[in-house]
Chain A
Amino acid sequence: GAGVSQSPRYKVAKRGQDVALRCDPISGHVSLFWYQQALGQGPEFLTYFQNEAQLDKSGLPSDRFFAERPEGSVSTLKIQRTQQEDSAVYLCASSTRSTGLETQYFGPGTRLLVL
């Protein structure tokens, strides 16, 4: 079946612009995660949804970052007034939480460059 998909794959924004990044998780997956991956680093947790509920947003770096999953499937990560330090790859992952094995399946990521 289809894996996790993300769009756009690449985004170039001018500093101060707002951007919206989309994630389509694997169908039926209850849990959805957003991570930020800087060049040469491991991913860092941003936020977590269980169905439509955002249970943890402790990793969001500032109030310019906002995520939603209104119907418990597709999620959008929005960054307002982008800054150069926001440049990174934004990864989305989903998991079933049905077996106790918390393997997260990752999308290809959105590479954001803020100029």
Chain B
Amino acid sequence: ELKVEQNPLFLSMQEGKNYTIYCNYSTTSDRLYWYRQDPGKSLESLFVLLSNGAVKQEGRLMASLDTKARLSTLHITAAVHDLSATYFCAVDKRYDNYQLIWGAGTKLIIKP
């Protein structure tokens, strides 16, 4: 059974600091996704990582994928308050690739 684990589940940090959110998954998967969710809002797609060693960056967020370790990271550089949200990773079920299996989410609070 494919399982996805994120850590930490809750993170409070100061503006200007760097931090990393980790996403581990239990079996081989084709693709890994990062989404952002603001309170009471929908899920917004951030990154799709398709292959081993893939790295994508958008502003202060950078995501990477290591398929051998079954690990993805979401790195936040010089955090700003606007990045406060809950971040989810999700993976495809291989050979069943329309269904996403989700982590529990990391609630990120960035204090001024």
Contact = CB atoms under 8 A, between A and B. Distances in A.
B100 interface: yes
Interface in B81-104: 88, 90, 92, 97-104
A106 B90 CA distance: 14
A59 B99 CA distance: 10
B3 to A, nearest CB: 11
B98 A48 contact: yes
A105 B48 CA distance: 12
Interface residues of A, number: 28
B42 A42 contact: no
Nearest to A43: B102
A44 B43 CA distance: 13
Contact of B103 (A3, A4, A42, A97): A42
A51 interface: no
A109 B44 CA distance: 12
Interface of B: 4, 31, 33, 35, 41-45, 48, 50, 88, 90, 92, 97-105
A84 interface: no
Given A42-B88, A42-B90, A42-B103, A106 B98 contact: no
Interface of A: 3-4, 31, 33, 40-45, 48, 50, 55-56, 59, 91, 93, 95, 97, 101-109
B42 A109 contact: yes
A106 B102 contact: no
B97 A102 contact: yes
Q: Choose among A43, A44, A95 the residue with the greatest number of B CB atoms under 10 Å from its CB.
A: A43
B36 to A, nearest CB: 11
A102 B31 contact: yes
Closest 10 CB pairs of A and B: A42-B102, A106-B43, A108-B42, A106-B42, A45-B99, A103-B45, A42-B104, A43-B102, A48-B98, A42-B103
